[in-house]
Amino acid sequence: MLVAARFVQGLAGGVGIVIAQAAGRDIFDGRELIRFYGRLAVAGPTAAIVGPMIGGLLNTFMDWRGLFGFLAVVGLALLLMSATMFTETLPPERRTAGGLRRTGAALRVLGADRVFVGAVLSQGFVYAAIFSYLAGSTFVLQEIYGLSPQWYAAAFALNSAGGVFFGWLGGRTAERWNVHGALFLGIAQTGTGCLGLLLAGLAPMPLAVVIASLFLLASGAQFSSPAGTTLALSEYPQMAGTAGSILGTARFGLGGLAAPFVGIAGSLSILPLGVITTGAAVLAAAGALLTLRRRAPESVVHAATA
């Protein structure tokens, strides 16, 4: 029952992410849209800092059942806020009827757009690196390098703080300079961190090198997020929900597929983490190259949403 409830919780979280991205596309355009996605990129790592702090505080006077009860109250509060404060963001003139046929047509249009496919693949493989980091950093820092739980928490907080700053910086860079440039810079930063982990797996490296590599990996992913999301959704206001759902599926699907392989050599080797994250960064860069291609003709997009 608990596993099933956690599964439903994950589904609800995924829905919230897609709706937030689609609602932003309904309301904003151009630089304002990039700025909005930059704020979303900041929200995730901020929650990663604040959430464990609140959980640790609550855990001093309640068990895991109490923590889940607290989460249920928070979920109910969010539901009430959504029902009373969050109205439909898509203008009536841009709304379309649903149905499998229309969804299939939208999927065909999106699949034919190399810019969209490239943005989705680049973000999917960046998240594969992130999920691998989340799955492997605990045993790397605690089992291999002997960090105490307190120092591991400090290292995790450092990376999350870096994600907050670089998520904001990535949004500003995409807004003020170039969306494609921001995407490639973020992937390059992530790739540098992944390469550091690979080198640490091939030869012994100081703890500082590993922590710096993890920092670059995590913060680079957040740097690329506003640009990647903008490239995927900006040209599809009529099907932002469909586009956002594909983007979310790629991010969490590829992330979930990559994470289990981090422990393939046991808890005393960092090499699988380095190999998987470096491979993911290379594939993310390959996906980003597709975003430099021309988009599908606008008439095709309108045909799918008419």
Give the CA diameter of the chain: 61
Q: What is the pLDDT of residue 295?
A: 57
Answer yes or no: are the C-beta atoms of 38 and 172 closer than 8 Å: yes
Angle between helical axes of 2-27 and 207-233 (0-180°, round to 10): 60
CA distance 11 to 68: 16
| Phi and psi angles of residue 205, each rounded to the nearest 5 degrees, phi first | -130, 150
Question: pTM here?
Answer: 0.86
Measured torsion, CA atoms of residues 50, 52, 56, 57, in degrees rounded to the nearest 10: 20
- The two tokens of residue 120 are 């989705």
- The two tokens of residue 210 are 């590993």
- What are the structural domains, with CATH classification, of the chain? 2-305 (1.20.1250.20)
Name the amino acid, one letter, at 51: G
Angle at 136 between CA 134 and CA 139, to 5 degrees: 125
3-state secondary structure of 187: helix
Q: What is the pLDDT of residue 3?
A: 79
Question: Residue 212 to residues 193, 200, 208, 216: CA-CA distances in angstroms?
Answer: 7, 11, 6, 6
Give per-10-residue mean pLDDT for the chain (306 aa): 78 77 84 88 80 80 87 89 83 73 86 94 96 90 87 87 92 93 97 96 93 95 94 88 90 92 82 95 96 62 47
Q: What is the pLDDT of residue 22?
A: 82
Burial class of 113 by CB neighbour count within 10 A (0 to 12, 13 to 18, 19+): buried
Q: What is the pLDDT of residue 174?
A: 93
